[in-house]
Structure 1
């Protein structure tokens, strides 16, 4: 049951990211300074590689979050979601913010990616809490 929970939580986190970035694609592309063509599509076309890497990363985060929940005896949907929220807000987002500050990225990019860094693990925690 553990591996199934990890996979389902990773899928949920990935799906939330798809919705997040579809809704915020224009400001994200501008903040990330990605060059777009006249139709608003990124120059260079589509690549599946970031999606593969992204899903592998989702599996890693989901697996570690499940381990953290188990090791801490955290049970239930609400407690698991709050733990995911804390991981996103106090581990992932500060790391993203630090990296973006050093690389002189636009603050809006930190806000947009940081928002997903909080929402994604929260959803993963919720899903893991169902098991």
Structure 2
């Protein structure tokens, strides 16, 4: 049986919703420092329905990816899933953002805000996917 057919699609959907909700809360809390670090104003931000549809679709892709890693590693608990998600967020997303920022001269606060968001969202997603077998 292939990996995609083994996934719990309800858990993937729940994880994508959790990732999306984490972003809404995270960037609500860190909106001001994030905009300052990015050099943006409230007027610069577009908030169309299409943007949110794309954002949710990307959350689904990330949830499927994390679910695949969880399936391949044999994780069967929420804690192990959360630790894997946090590790992926820190070790891949945050490290990649830091690498790019070091060459681009990007404000380091963006690395912290965006990278720690990824680690937090992935931890929630991994907990759901690891625990909901």
- Report TM bin, short chain: 0.7 to 0.9
User: Distance in 2 between the 1:90 and 1:112 partners?
Assistant: 15
Corresponding position of 2:21: 15
Q: Secondary structure at the match of 2:44?
A: coil
* Structure 1: 4+ residue segments shifted above 4 A: none
Structure having the larger proportion of residues in helix: 2
Corresponding position of 2:35: 29
Return the offset for 1:103.
2.3
Return the offset for 1:45.
4.8
What is the CA RMSD across the aligned residues, in angstroms?
1.6
User: Distance in 2 between the 1:54 and 1:100 partners?
Assistant: 22
Return the offset for 1:51.
2.1
Structure-to-structure mapping, 1:74-89, within 5 angstroms: 74-89=75-90
Q: How many correspondences in the alignment?
A: 126
Q: State the TM-score, normalizing by the size of structure 1.
A: 0.88
Segments of structure 1 that go 5 or more residues without pairing to the other structure are none
